[in-house]
Structure formats: C-alpha cells, structure tokens
Amino acid sequence: MNIVYVCSPQEADRESVRLRCHNLAGALLASGWHQASVVDLPAFLEMEPGVVALVHQADVLVIHRYAFGPMLQTVQYWKAHGKRIIVDIDLHERDLLARANLLEARAETLPLARKTGPLPAAHALRSEELRFTLRLANLVTVCSPRLADDWSAYAPTVHLPDYLNLDRYLAVRQQHPGEIWIGLMMAGDGRTELFPGLVDTLLEVARLRPQVRVHIYGSPLPGSGLNGLSADQVVLYNNLSVEEWPRLLGNLNIGLAPLSSEEGMRAGRARVLEYMASKVPWIASNAQPFREFERYGILASNDPDTWMRALLQLVDHNDQYRAEAGGEAFLYALGQDVRENLDRILSIYARSLTDPTYFHQVM
C-alpha cells in the first residue's frame, strides 16, 4: 500500500502531526512492504509538481485535521481521479475550526480555489464545508471513541488509537538526588487542561514537600496561573520542541495528565501512554481517554483534594511507584508501539474501505 499523509506545518499542530502522521508513515516504510510520504498541507493545496507526482502514485490520501476551506475543492479533484480519501481528526470541532487561519490565508491564491472563488470565513460555513468533505471521504479516523460518536453520522468512522514510536523514548535518565520532579506538558492542543484549583494544589504540594519541583513543559496558556511563579516553586521550559519532550520524560518522578472540558474528553490517549513508555508513575483525570490504563496508574476526579492526596501518596512512596511503573505498565506500553500494531492500522486503511460492517468497529 502507498499512503500520502497531508499535514499542517504549523507549530501548534506539530505534536499531533508527529503522533498521527510521521509515526505511522515511518512504520510503513520500515516494514519494507509499503510506501508512505508526509507532505505539507500548503504544498498539497498549491498543487506543487512534486506533491502531485506523489499523490498520483498513492493508493490512499490521509488528510490530517484540515478538511475544510480550500481542502473541499482539492478533495473533490482527487476523488475524481480515483483516490481513496481518509480524513483523520483528533480535535473537537470547535478547536479544529478555530485553526482555520492556515487555510484561509491561502484560499484566494490556490489553483483549485480560483475556479470557485475564495471561501467564506464564517464559523458556520467552515462547519458546513467540513461536513461536505467528510461525506466525500471514504473513511474518517479519529483518536477517541467520543470523536467517533461525533462524526459517525457524516461518514464511516473508525477509532484509530494513538500509537507511539518507542524509539523516541529511549533516553539516559538524568539523576537528581533528593528531588522529586512532577511534570506537566502544556501543549495547547487539548491533550492537557488545567481544572480549577490544580495550580494551587501543585504549589501546596511543593510547600508541604520541599523536595518537590514542578516542571512545566511548553508555554503555559494565558490565565492558567502558571506564568510568573517563582523559580523555587516551578521550573518552566518554554518553547519546548516535539523532539525534546520524549527525551525529558524519563527524568520525571511523577507525570500529570489533567483533562477538564468537552474538548478534552475527546482527546487521545497518548499523554498517559508516554508516561508508561518512560516508566513514570502518573496521575490523570478520570476521563474516557485514559480509562483503559486504570490498572497502571491513578485516575482522579477533578477536585483539588483528590489530586492532593494522590500527589502526596506518589511523592511519599515514589521509589515503590517507580518500581511498579517499570513492570506491567511498561510492558503494556511496549505493546502500543506503532510497528507492533501496523497490521491493525493497515486493516483500518484497507478493509474498512470495502467492508461496510467494519466501519462501526472500535479498534
């Protein structure tokens, strides 16, 4: 099979593109039996000759996230040329449509868009464009069951879970004797959300346990309460790259994965899976994306007292929890490597395009 992934080059999309496009393309190529390419969305929309040549050779096009605006005409064009189209969605619709700037900035200059005129920017019309594109697609893949429920009315929809490239998580652990590092990744992509009271809880834990250092990776969102904290309470890593994050994970003693909104409940499972692959004990919101991992960590309701008790438990008995994280949890994570699941991924890409009964199965 020959698959072309069409992905955004925006920094805000980079983690998702790595997870849902590059990981899969790399596994396909490594198999030696398949071909895969990842192309930038602007080059795809602008019909650059090199990209057009790749698409002509492809069996399947996977459009990651941006299936609206000028993408509608482009999908119509390639459908007319016999290409199978998969749309891959890992965001709530509101979050997805809010990122339309990349497409709208180019709408008036694209080869296909010029034939139909620039597309309106109104939210309602973007939503309508998205639904038209989904109806044209052969399949929609999503990162969570909640998203599968959202989109199954518009197109055949299958839950394709997040899988990791575990080679990226093999790093030498940095020793920090006498300190307990609690880590939180603020990616701004819906995979981490602070609920009211969490920041104060983290600061209180640091006050009660002087050995604790709270490490915040990525840029905290405005109003999160994390900006401006003193260096003895919190260590901030601004502008952290997608490549750096996996190498830093193993340095943590405790990993956090809070979710709090409707958008968050539709997130994928990757954040907790990354902790497990790095042998890091974790606490996560008791939310659907993480419930399959219940036996391997702590799922907590989103109230400060519950998180306080869980945090103190992991801080006070960290050696025990670290040892447990290197056992069954780590072995489970090994089974979630993208290469170990390539047959399942290909069965979604291939069988589901021809077998109507397969569309409603959840992998």
Mean of the pLDDT values across residues 234-243? 78
Q: Would you say 188 and 260 are in contact if contact means Cβ atoms under 8 Å apart? A: no
Mean of the pLDDT values across residues 321-340? 96
pLDDT surpasses 90 at 363: no
Contacts 24+ apart (CB under 8 A), 189-192: 189/12, 189/13, 189/15, 189/16, 189/91, 190/91, 190/92, 190/95, 190/263, 190/264, 190/266, 190/267, 191/15, 191/257, 191/264, 191/267, 191/268, 191/270, 191/271, 192/256, 192/257, 192/258, 192/259, 192/271
pLDDT at 73: 93
Q: In the structure, what pLDDT confidence band is assigned to residue 353 with cuts at 50, 70 and 90?
A: low
Which CATH number applies to 166-334? 3.40.50.2000
DSSP string, 162-177: --B-GGGG--PPPP-T
| CATH class belonging to 2-163+338-358 | alpha beta
Contacts 24+ apart (CB under 8 A), 152-160: 152/359, 152/360, 155/87, 156/352, 156/356, 156/359, 157/359, 157/360, 158/348, 158/352, 158/358, 158/359, 158/361, 158/362, 158/363, 159/362, 159/363, 160/88, 160/345, 160/348, 160/363
pTM of the model as a whole: 0.88
β-pairing, 234-237 vs 60-64, is unpaired
**Mean pLDDT, the chain, whole residue set:** 86
**71-80 vs 123-136: helix crossing angle, rounded to 10:** 20
Mean of the pLDDT values across residues 96-113? 62
Question: Within 10 Å of residue 201's Cβ, how many Cβ atoms?
Answer: 18
pLDDT surpasses 70 at 139: yes
Check residues 116 and 9 and name the one with the higher pLDDT.
9
pLDDT at 303: 93
> Domains of the chain: which residue ranges?
2-163+338-358, 166-334
pLDDT surpasses 90 at 47: yes
pLDDT at 226: 58
Mean of the pLDDT values across residues 295-301? 96
Q: In the structure, what pLDDT confidence band is assigned to residue 248 with cuts at 50, 70 and 90?
A: confident
pLDDT > 70 in the chain, percent: 85
Mean of the pLDDT values across residues 173-186? 88
Mean of the pLDDT values across residues 257-266? 82
pLDDT at 190: 45
Q: In the structure, what pLDDT confidence band is assigned to residue 241 with cuts at 50, 70 and 90?
A: confident
pLDDT at 114: 44
2-163+338-358 matches 166-334 in fold: yes
Check residues 108 and 136 and name the one with the higher pLDDT.
136
Check residues 175 and 219 and name the one with the higher pLDDT.
175
pLDDT at 322: 95
Check residues 23 and 228 and name the one with the higher pLDDT.
23
pLDDT at 109: 52
pLDDT surpasses 60 at 102: no
Mean of the pLDDT values across residues 188-202? 73
Phi then psi for residue 87, to 5 deg, are: -105, 125
pLDDT surpasses 80 at 14: yes
pLDDT at 89: 95
pLDDT at 170: 83
* Cβ-Cβ contacts under 8 Å for 289 (sequence gap 6 or more): 144, 259, 265, 266, 267, 268, 269, 272
pLDDT at 220: 57
Distance CA 280, CA 272 (A): 9
pLDDT at 92: 85
pLDDT at 203: 87
pLDDT surpasses 90 at 155: no
Mean of the pLDDT values across residues 8-29? 93
In one letter, which amino acid is 283?
A: I
pLDDT surpasses 90 at 341: yes
Distance CA 360, CA 363 (A): 10
Please write the tens of the pLDDT for every residue from 277-296: 999 999 999 999 999 999 99
Q: In the structure, what pLDDT confidence band is assigned to residue 116 with cuts at 50, 70 and 90?
A: very low
Please write the tens of the pLDDT for every residue from 142-151: 999 999 999 8
